[in-house]
Amino acid sequence: MITVKEVTTKKEQKQFIDFPLRLYKDCPYFVPPLYGDEKGMFKEGFIYNDCCDIVNFLAFDGDKVVGRIQGIIQRASNEKHHEKRVRFTRFDAVDNKQVAAKLFGAVESWAKDKGMDTIVGPLGFSDLEREGMLVDGFDQLSTFEEQYNYAYYPKLVESLGFEKEVDWTESKIYPPENDDGTMQKMADFVMKRYNLRFGEAKNINDFIEKYGDDFFGLIDKGYENLYGTVPFTEGMKREIIKTFKLIVDLKHVAIILDENNKAVCIGICFPSIAKAVQKSQGKLTPLALMRLLKAIKHPSVIDFGLIAVDPSYLNRGVSTAISAEILKILQDDSIEYAETNLNLEDNAAIQNQWKRFKEVKHKRRRSYVKKIG
């Protein structure tokens, strides 16, 4: 008999975090999040507690955990879009429709009691979280930034009445097969025409001190109308800064300033740490830390974090300058390729960005939606 229980105890919190690690134990494509970050969701000072209502459920077959799900009412997002939505995320389950139905039923009942009328996801607390359900590319290694799921997941949620709302594509990016210097020439022309320059910094701490406010303001402005995004809170900013200090190399960050030293474009890449965290299941053991440091200092794959452009510069070709910087990274002999992570399929600006390179689309993710009220 399948039963569902809300997570309330320390033991259940551990079961909630551990379940996907067991479910994907022998899967070569699954990349776990950092274990400590997942534990942080249950702490009183969790950074999203001030803007979200959160619930977690476990599904049991007897005493055995067979599924989990998290429900999130992102109040800032609902207020921004005048919606009554609950997000689902951290849905993991065995291939059993009854298990899925009971987990989603629990979230939907909780959400209805709070006045919600729509369920959507997978979406996390913000755009900084893993989002989207893999619907194509099940034989590809996930990036650290995104979640893997088995091929039966879409069938389970679609059998419960969910429909596609948006898709994201993911690509592997290589240098163009015939680089004749055109990209760099275009970049130089745009920079000169609009009197732009690249911001400089001695290290990541210096970068944050000089450009931190501009950085967050530019992302808020550039991503304001994109699906699933919410404004940065002070807690979110602290979390990003912590991540920056942990894994970002200054040579993989570019910020473009106008003649008044205002940021108009930014691009950030991360060294891929996917394989480094796989063996330890996301736990930062001494050996895992050694693998992590090696991956950061000597990456063979680069993950694209974000590219944000001030809307007033969108049609001025400024992103070409970022593309030229990306090309320099890809031309490093130690780099095999770069991963784009999630690009909205209808975001023409970012989809066109990769046409300057050799692009191989290898994954697709989906956000589902269903009316519940």
Write down the mean pLDDT value for the chain.
91
* Residue 319 confidence (pLDDT): 83
Whether the predicted pLDDT of 256 surpasses 80: yes
Q: How would DSSP label each residue in 80-97? A: HHT--EEEEEEEEE-S-H
pLDDT tens column, 51-105? 999 999 999 999 999 999 999 999 999 998 899 999 999 999 999 999 999 999 9
pLDDT tens column, 124-157? 998 878 999 999 999 999 999 999 999 999 999 9
Q: Terminus-to-terminus CA distance in the chain, angstroms?
A: 28
Helix runs in 163-280, H state only: 182-193, 204-223, 234-247, 274-278
Residues 84 and 77: beta-carbon distance below 8 Å: no
Cα radius of gyration (the chain): 21
Instruction: Quote the CA–CA distance of 12 and 57 in Å, as a whole number.
Output: 9
pLDDT tens column, 258-294? 999 888 888 888 899 999 999 899 998 888 889 988 9
pLDDT tens column, 12-47? 999 999 999 999 999 999 999 999 999 999 998 898
Whether the predicted pLDDT of 159 surpasses 90: yes
* Residue 253 confidence (pLDDT): 86
Instruction: Quote the CA–CA distance of 363 and 275 in Å, as a whole number.
Output: 18
Q: Which residue has the tokens 């039963």?
A: 3
10 Å CB burial of residue 355 (0-12, 13-18, 19+) is exposed
Q: How many other C-beta atoms lie within 10 A of the C-beta of residue 70?
A: 23
Mean pLDDT value across residues 191-217: 86
Give the residue among 44, 39, 48 at the shortest CA–CA distance from 10.
39
**103-135 burial by CB neighbour count: b if 16+ within 10 A, else e?**
bbebbbebbeeeebebbbbbbbbbbbbbbbbbb
* Residue 221 confidence (pLDDT): 77
* Residue 307 confidence (pLDDT): 80
Give the residue among 90, 92, 47 at the shortest CA–CA distance from 71.
90
Whether the predicted pLDDT of 9 surpasses 90: yes
| For the chain, percent of residues with pLDDT exceeding 70 | 100
Tokens of 289: 């830390």
Strands 197-198 and 253-257, by their bridges, are antiparallel
